[in-house]
Structure 1
């Protein structure tokens, strides 16, 4: 976290300045993990905490999940795995992005598990284990349709030859469209993964991500890997969200003004007042994770304040945004508006911005005053 954010976070009350307040409910995070653990039907429920725990902060998130009973974590990069190891000395930690060239000794020294998704990775890991005369753990990643990372069927014979050199701790794959329960590729991927599991020696298996855990047809195998749902994202788009919201974001009103019909607001005058309007400028922009694509347009974002929906008008700029508070005219300088919270979910803001809630979460800026609820 930048020094400025650290200094601001240390203040007793950030309401005297122009910073937005990002509140992270760690109790809700733990409750979400417990809900997902219940859906795992006896399988182990891990936690995906890559990208700084989807933007909410890896250290507080991991500590809360550990206290709730989580014992296995997934990150993307080796650097994330190293950082997490200092927080969770006894946890099982998998690095999803595989084995960077020359990194085997570091993985072994830190007791971290690379997720091997190519023959060159497997060969390097096997050679390291043979040179050390020790079978270190690693996971095997099978590609069942993503065409991103993972072994494909022609790789299997060579991969099977290499397994003797190390301990295969997990075989896994990743759904392409688990959020779409009607997608026929879900069944195809399940069948391909079951076939691969039958060809490889017996080991623990993992298929389900957040949305996969809500697919009735998806077997849980031995371990589930929820990520987005832990942080309040909806794993069942189109249906009610079964998860508890974890983040809320409030921005402060810096200035209020009345404008006449025909006056423009924001860069390039992309919005013109259709009638006399009351506008408020808030201290939140795209540098804070409020996407520029949420500017007024075909969809555009709203905030909620003063009991009313207040649309964004004009283009969102780096540090500031303009909202129309004509229906909440009692709002004044220093009042706060809800950008995420009880009325607006990360999925809502993602949809209004032409993106997904995952991007909203992981782009949450570091200039906010961060408040953690339910931490130690």
Structure 2
């Protein structure tokens, strides 16, 4: 069996959820959109079902998958619904629904509903991607109340730069949100992962932890005690030696400066490992620090075994996990941990609890 696998530590997932809830000090929706950031939405939701206050997904199909798997806790649709049929499904499955633009608001006003909804009314406080602005917030809140189809309203916003604690825009967004929602009844939800960890002023009634659940710390320094949930690993499948001056792999990017012992690893960009990482990107080989050499290809990549004489065929290679933080690989690839985790595919998934 090909040794490439993603090992998912569900105990670490629960640890991270508890940390988020403790730091925030109030209720928290576990964000499991995008197949739980590549970790498996159903398995992660089931692992959290005994303690999570609810879940958040991007859209209806993701919510229905959880309901079909027996998840009965509240589920929030972060994108809201796209038409009246989806709105009816949201009511049928007792989903909470974000409303962030005029067409969605009008849809609620004009569609007969079997029961009232819990609506999350989104405020555009400065990200300028989705949500109502300024006086439009109060007008939307009043229309929802007047519709007779809403049992509760939660007022929410989303931060653009909460992971940059030195930048003033998060404080400005907080002020904008407070001004737009002043005097409006309803619970509040502001804090994403970075705000949970770094912006106590943003802690309100509901938190929405996402990336932190999976152990990738969104804040500089990575000192918040999160535990990595996914370990992406494989094994050395062949070994060869190349001489000084020999080029290795596609494009000949790596040229050996000395006689080099090369380990061929069953992992590539078709599995989700980023092709863009440079020579020297960290790996762990049988628990020892190692480095990638040569360009990652579709199914294989190569590592330097020269200074690890005991390593050989069958040696375990961690691409990211407890020894190699996914953030370090993401930085080397010029991207973010979210993208790497969401892109993992084709490998076997193994769950431990």
Which of the five TM-score ranges fits, normalised by the shorter chain? Answer: over 0.9
Deviation readout 1:75-95 (Å, 9 max, x if unpaired): 011110111122344311111
Tell me, in whole angstroms, the C-alpha distance in 2 between the residues paired with 1:120 and 1:154: 17
Tell me, in whole angstroms, the C-alpha distance in 2 between the residues paired with 1:85 and 1:229: 24
Deviation readout 1:242-288 (Å, 9 max, x if unpaired): 21121112211111000111111111212211111010110000111
What does residue range 98-117 of structure 1 map to in structure 2 within 5 Å?
98-102=80-84, 103-117=86-100
Answer whether contact 2:7 2:352 (CA < 8 A) is retained. Answer: yes
What does residue range 1-376 of structure 1 map to in structure 2 within 5 Å?
17-41=1-25, 43-67=26-50, 69-102=51-84, 103-128=86-111, 131-132=112-113, 134-153=115-134, 155-156=136-137, 158-163=139-144, 164-165=146-147, 166-167=149-150, 168-200=152-184, 202-296=185-279, 300-306=280-286, 308-365=288-345, 367-374=346-353
Q: TM-score, normalised by structure 2?
A: 0.94
Tell me, in whole angstroms, the C-alpha distance in 2 between the residues paired with 1:317 and 1:132: 52
Tell me, in whole angstroms, the C-alpha distance in 2 between the residues paired with 1:57 and 1:134: 31
Tell me, in whole angstroms, the C-alpha distance in 2 between the residues paired with 1:86 and 1:136: 20
Answer whether contact 2:250 2:295 (CA < 8 A) is retained. Answer: yes
Answer whether contact 2:138 2:181 (CA < 8 A) is retained. Answer: no
Unaligned ranges ≥5, structure 1: 1-16
Tell me, in whole angstroms, the C-alpha distance in 1 between the residues paired with 2:178 and 2:10: 36
Secondary structure in 2 aligned to 1:327?
coil
Deviating beyond 4 angstroms after TM superposition, the runs of 4 or more aligned structure 1 residues are: none
Deviation readout 1:155-214 (Å, 9 max, x if unpaired): 3354134212132431100111111112101111111111222153x1111000111012
Tell me, in whole angstroms, the C-alpha distance in 2 between the residues paired with 1:237 and 1:214: 11
- Equivalent pairs counted in the alignment come to 349
CA shift, 1:235, in A, is 3.2
CA shift, 1:52, in A, is 0.6
Tell me, in whole angstroms, the C-alpha distance in 1 between the residues paired with 2:312 and 2:20: 42
CA shift, 1:238, in A, is 2.4
Answer whether contact 1:119 1:158 (CA < 8 A) is retained. Answer: no
Answer whether contact 2:242 2:256 (CA < 8 A) is retained. Answer: yes
CA shift, 1:217, in A, is 4.4
Secondary structure in 2 aligned to 1:313?
coil
Secondary structure in 2 aligned to 1:292?
coil
Secondary structure in 2 aligned to 1:22?
strand
Deviation readout 1:8-62 (Å, 9 max, x if unpaired): xxxxxxxxx2231211110111111111111122x21221111111111111100
Answer whether contact 1:307 1:328 (CA < 8 A) is retained. Answer: no
Secondary structure in 1 aligned to 2:14?
helix
